[in-house]
Structure 1
Amino acid sequence: MKINNIWLLAILLIGFTSCESDDDTLADPAIEDPISDGPSPVYTSGTADFTTFVAVGNSLTAGYSDGTLFMRGQETSFPNILSQQFALAGGGVFTQPSINDNVGGLLLGGTQITGPRLIFNPATQTPGPISGTPTTDITNIVAGPYNNMGVPGAKSFHLLAPGYGNISNFPAAANPYFIRMASTPNATVLEDALAQNPTFFSLWIGNNDVLGYATSGGDGSNPITDQATFDGAMTALVSSLTANSTNGIIANIPNVADTPYFTTVPYAPLDPTNPSFGPQIPTLNSVFGALNPIFQAIDPSRIIVFSQTAASPVVIQDETLTNIAPQIFGTLMASATFPAFISNFGLDGNNPLVVQSAAGLLANLYGQSRQATSSDLIVLPSSSIIGTVNQMTADALVQAGLPEAVAGQFSTEGVTLPLEDKWVLLPSEQTEIQNATTAFNQTIANLATQYDLAFFDVNTFFSNVATSGFQAGSAFMTADYVTGGTFSLDGVHPSPRGYSVISNQMIGIINTKYGSNLPTVNPVDYTGLYID
């Protein structure tokens, strides 16, 4: 029951190969400014002072894209783009803790700890890691402070944590990106930002306070920050950054469901025309046919059927369901036809221990299972495992006494082996995320009002991009994976073009708030997708 090339199947369903977007999504055409015979415009900062601009935040501030930091990506970080426009009205030098190469990724004492960046291969129509090895070792500390104080992975309270850049605390309580840029091992991110006496700042933090929970499928390994901790951290950050009457701009948290990380993989990707899956459907329906009467009696929503004429949903584990493993086991053991049923799979139906083992296997696998619905969000990385054999599960089943072939049959991810919680955001988990995002964004909005700061409602902006698209110069941008031009290949962080549009939105808000007249940039000057 192993389904090969499920990623290619997903591509076909998503429609990468039938994309009708214009070519500027995949390329980086040169756009020349029109020649003007008139006088050069005079740009002013209004009531703002751009002399020393410091950007504070996480990966979105650092310029992270395509799954990592790399030099080209950092050059198109929104703070770097802003600094270039600020320079037209008195802004000074803007420094960033540059990665050593365009491969991306980090080393620790020569051992790779984060991977290289993703690129898109037009020939195969698939994303994948760029060839090459990272050369940036976090033991080679190039102490700041830097104007770009964006630290990938940081949550709100991490910016206030002493030792967050101390390599002796890694990996439990230190960040590899901050280790290589901290002014001293025990300095905080906020301290290093304030040490530069900023005259203008940007603060975009809080995404990871909910995003970590979301990208882990809400499995509990990366919990949402509690409200009191978030409020305390944000208040401390904003009050400190504005202590000298410093002006700035603060952004809120986008809804994770507006990013392709959660919207690209369909809940029903199992295509009956796939030659590795279609022929298995009768056998699969026979297997679940032994369980569906039990599901029908207890909870009909758990019935599992694979269609021979349309794409079928994956099978998932839903921990919000009552575990009915005892009922499944008891019913199968009491069934007069179950021994004959398991004999069809090469098992000895006349051996009571084998019958008991088979009943226990089915009970444990499907006690909290169901097929996915359109209300479930399947995370992007699941595309690489759906339809593959989970070897750990298969090995465990072999050790439990099942023949190797049968063990493999019952270890196919999303088909006979329900997808783990980490691969799926259930509706209940989405509600938790949405509630936290709404509450956190209210805190951010209140602080923007209290401290009279420019405020960028990036949540609403990304929502509009996801629902209606966005016209950026000659490029029409959407939130579609690969083809949309807004997001990079990691499905969460913007592409260079996405960052340029964010910069333009901020420039417009800054101009309105502080009376400056900074020009925007041309988004088409920035690529929507790296292919090298």
Structure 2
Amino acid sequence: MKKIYILGAFACLFAACKPSVNITVPSTAGDAVFTNYLAIGNSLTAGYADGSLYVTGQLNSYPQRLFEQFSMIKDRGARGPFYQPLLNGDMGFGPGSTGTGNNRPRKVIGYTFNCLGDTSIGPVDLPYYSADADDAKAYTSPNRQVNNIGVPGIRVSDYLVSFYASLNPYAGRFYYSASETPLDELLFRVNNLHPTFFTMWLGSNDVLGYALAGGQGDGSGNAGPGAFGLYNSADITPTSVFKMNYDTAVAVASSVGAKGALINIPDITSIPFFTTIPSNGLYIPRQSLADSLTQFYRSLNYVFSLGYNQFIIRDNVGALRQSVPGELILITTPHDSLTCAGWGSFKAIPEQYVITTDELQNIRNATTRYNEIIRSAAERNLLAYVDMFSYMSTLQSGIVYHGVNYNASFISGGAFSLDAVHLTPRGYAIVANKIISTINEKYHSTVTPVDVNKFHGVLFP
């Protein structure tokens, strides 16, 4: 089975403006027809959260929120039911997990203990229970209908890979045929549902896998495919492959005359997975320790001082050096190694836990190229273009919905779930509102925004 990176990634979502959410304006369809809605995407579309896929997360996906708002429209509004490939419980599902089979326990807030014996609360895996093994059962629905075909781990580069359902167990739960490509599945769903409106949020995974792996791939976007036609999930998809597959997917999705919205890729390096541990997170509480480190690195002329200092890292060419401002330390860096094993001080943080300046530029260049392809596809096909990149990058200091503050901080910000990549129900509701505002502008509709505060952020025991 191929290694699957669960992506879908987000930029600094929440910020400085304070949108006014008027939930009393009558909903109208405008130039759109929302009767049959199809959602196409990856883990974010599926409702993935807290490091796993589970039914409560699925029921709080942004497509679910959109369907509910589309359903409020009397004339040409969505008509149900809205079928999602729901799991049977909240234990969690996914590959490479603990337990048995494809049971992937989701993360919850619990007690953690570090190498010093200190106790705190933070993300821990939900204990595995064999009674929850049924979570992994294949999904079936009346007439085999599925309105949400979001697949965790899927990349645009995967869309012409045969036997994809055999390679990705998330797809295997509901794909019509084990031998088909994701493009075949999309064509089947379009012909089965005859959507009048669709959303497509693809592309984050084509660059985020490289980032989650600490930039271990080639990074140039020129690497070729491997076995089964799969491109390295820890590398950047070639632009030509992205364009061919993305344009084809849009053509299929709109082939029965559906209107829709294409959503671009945010700045993935702004999510808590990359921003929670700062590059200057080496805290030195005593002058004697600062002097010891300065002496230890005297041949490199590094000087350490009281307070916060740049970490010592191993970079992408194997060199030992101090990090520079702007470089990123992954949240998966073992915290006990930082605390008790001298990582980042007397020992370098290994390169797989670091995004260097060069790797950061590779990520930004690829994102820019992909977003231009998405924008051009929207313009060419007369579809709404949801500029999530600009929306999220201009919002830096948090947003307020009906008196409640949201920001991109890990756990406390209310928007990101416990895996530091995917969203909470409130975060998905905020995303739904951005999509709704763009749809309203493009199609002269007045779809009612979601009341974000009805939904929860991170749950504490």
What TM-score do the two structures reach when normalised by structure 1?
Answer: 0.70
Alignment-derived partner of residue 34 in structure 2: 50
Q: Using the alignment, how far apart are the partners of 1:187 and 1:384 within structure 2?
A: 42
Alignment-derived partner of residue 252 in structure 1: 264
- Contact persistence 2:25–2:448 (CA under 8 A): no
Q: Against the structure 1 CA distance between its residues 56 and 130, is the aligned structure 2 distance closer, same or farther, given a 3 Å change threshold? A: same
* Alpha-carbon distance, 1:120 to partner: 2.9
Cα deviation, 1:350-374, whole Å, max 9, x if unaligned, reads xxxxxxxxxxxxxxxxxx1012121
- Contact persistence 2:95–2:103 (CA under 8 A): yes
1:374 aligns with 2:325: yes
* Alpha-carbon distance, 1:286 to partner: 4.3
Q: Against the structure 1 CA distance between its residues 130 and 305, is the aligned structure 2 distance closer, same or farther, given a 3 Å change threshold? A: farther
SS of 1:468 mapped into structure 2: coil
Alignment-derived partner of residue 146 in structure 2: 146
Q: Using the alignment, how far apart are the partners of 1:191 and 1:280 within structure 2?
A: 63
Alignment-derived partner of residue 100 in structure 2: 111
1:198 aligns with 2:195: yes
Alignment-derived partner of residue 94 in structure 1: 82
Cα deviation, 1:418-447, whole Å, max 9, x if unaligned, reads 222210100000101101101110110011
| Counterpart AA for 2:369 | A
SS of 1:261 mapped into structure 2: helix
Count of paired positions: 405
Alignment-derived partner of residue 158 in structure 1: 158
Q: Using the alignment, how far apart are the partners of 1:228 and 1:137 within structure 2?
A: 41
Q: Against the structure 1 CA distance between its residues 494 and 235, is the aligned structure 2 distance closer, same or farther, given a 3 Å change threshold? A: same
Q: Using the alignment, how far apart are the partners of 2:312 and 2:127 within structure 1?
A: 34
Alignment-derived partner of residue 235 in structure 1: 247
Q: Against the structure 1 CA distance between its residues 136 and 252, is the aligned structure 2 distance closer, same or farther, given a 3 Å change threshold? A: farther
| Counterpart AA for 1:196 | L
Q: Using the alignment, how far apart are the partners of 2:445 and 2:133 within structure 1?
A: 39
1:77 aligns with 2:61: yes
| Counterpart AA for 2:203 | G
- Contact persistence 2:161–2:181 (CA under 8 A): yes
Q: Using the alignment, how far apart are the partners of 1:158 and 1:197 within structure 2?
A: 24
| Counterpart AA for 1:76 | N
Give the number of the structure whose residues are more often helix, by fraction.
Answer: 1
| Counterpart AA for 1:151 | V
- Contact persistence 1:179–1:185 (CA under 8 A): yes
Q: Against the structure 1 CA distance between its residues 420 and 192, is the aligned structure 2 distance closer, same or farther, given a 3 Å change threshold? A: farther
**1:40-439 paired onto structure 2 within 5 Å:** 43-89=27-73, 90-92=77-79, 93-106=81-94, 111-113=100-102, 115-121=104-110, 124-133=120-129, 135-136=132-133, 140-143=137-140, 144-166=144-166, 174-189=167-182, 190-194=186-190, 195-220=192-217, 222-273=234-285, 283-288=292-297, 292-293=298-299, 295=300, 303-307=301-305, 309-320=306-317, 368-382=319-333, 384-387=335-338, 412-439=342-369
| Counterpart AA for 1:384 | H
Q: Using the alignment, how far apart are the partners of 2:133 and 2:435 within structure 1?
A: 31
Q: Using the alignment, how far apart are the partners of 1:417 and 1:192 within structure 2?
A: 54
* Alpha-carbon distance, 1:153 to partner: 0.6
- Contact persistence 1:200–1:247 (CA under 8 A): yes
SS of 2:120 mapped into structure 1: coil
* Alpha-carbon distance, 1:515 to partner: 2.6
Q: Against the structure 1 CA distance between its residues 185 and 461, is the aligned structure 2 distance closer, same or farther, given a 3 Å change threshold? A: same
1:483 aligns with 2:412: yes
Q: Using the alignment, how far apart are the partners of 1:131 and 1:111 within structure 2?
A: 12
- Contact persistence 1:63–1:76 (CA under 8 A): yes
Q: Using the alignment, how far apart are the partners of 2:438 and 2:294 within structure 1?
A: 57
**1:457-472 paired onto structure 2 within 5 Å:** 457-465=387-395, 467-472=396-401
- Contact persistence 2:187–2:253 (CA under 8 A): no
- Structure 2: which 5+ residue stretches go unaligned? 1-21, 112-118, 218-231
* Alpha-carbon distance, 1:46 to partner: 2.3
* Alpha-carbon distance, 1:264 to partner: 1.0
Aligned-pair identity (%): 32
Aligned equivalent of 2:378, options 429, 433, 448: 448
* Alpha-carbon distance, 1:140 to partner: 3.0
* Alpha-carbon distance, 1:177 to partner: 0.5
Q: Using the alignment, how far apart are the partners of 2:94 and 2:204 within structure 1?
A: 22
- Contact persistence 1:265–1:383 (CA under 8 A): no
- Contact persistence 2:400–2:406 (CA under 8 A): yes
| Counterpart AA for 1:184 | S
| Counterpart AA for 2:125 | P
- Contact persistence 1:145–1:182 (CA under 8 A): no
Cα deviation, 1:189-221, whole Å, max 9, x if unaligned, reads 323432322111110000000111111110116
Higher CA-based Rg: 1
* Alpha-carbon distance, 1:316 to partner: 0.6
SS of 1:311 mapped into structure 2: strand
Q: Using the alignment, how far apart are the partners of 1:269 and 1:42 within structure 2?
A: 50
- Contact persistence 2:86–2:139 (CA under 8 A): no
| Counterpart AA for 2:171 | F
* Alpha-carbon distance, 1:518 to partner: 1.8
* Alpha-carbon distance, 1:85 to partner: 1.1
SS of 2:90 mapped into structure 1: coil
Q: Using the alignment, how far apart are the partners of 1:456 and 1:57 within structure 2?
A: 14
Q: Against the structure 1 CA distance between its residues 455 and 375, is the aligned structure 2 distance closer, same or farther, given a 3 Å change threshold? A: same
* Alpha-carbon distance, 1:44 to partner: 2.9
| Counterpart AA for 1:127 | P
Q: Using the alignment, how far apart are the partners of 1:456 and 1:155 within structure 2?
A: 19
SS of 2:164 mapped into structure 1: coil
| Counterpart AA for 2:27 | Y
Q: Against the structure 1 CA distance between its residues 306 and 128, is the aligned structure 2 distance closer, same or farther, given a 3 Å change threshold? A: farther
- Structure 1: which 5+ residue stretches go unaligned? 1-32, 35-39, 167-173, 296-302, 324-367, 390-410
SS of 1:382 mapped into structure 2: coil
SS of 1:224 mapped into structure 2: coil
SS of 2:40 mapped into structure 1: strand
Q: Using the alignment, how far apart are the partners of 1:202 and 1:136 within structure 2?
A: 32
Q: Using the alignment, how far apart are the partners of 1:108 and 1:380 within structure 2?
A: 19
What TM-score do the two structures reach when normalised by structure 2?
Answer: 0.81
Cα deviation, 1:444-464, whole Å, max 9, x if unaligned, reads 001101000111101111112
Cα deviation, 1:130-172, whole Å, max 9, x if unaligned, reads 3344735686322554111000011013234331112xxxxxx
Q: Using the alignment, how far apart are the partners of 1:388 and 1:98 within structure 2?
A: 41
| Counterpart AA for 2:439 | I
Alpha-carbon RMSD: 2.7
* Alpha-carbon distance, 1:473 to partner: 2.4
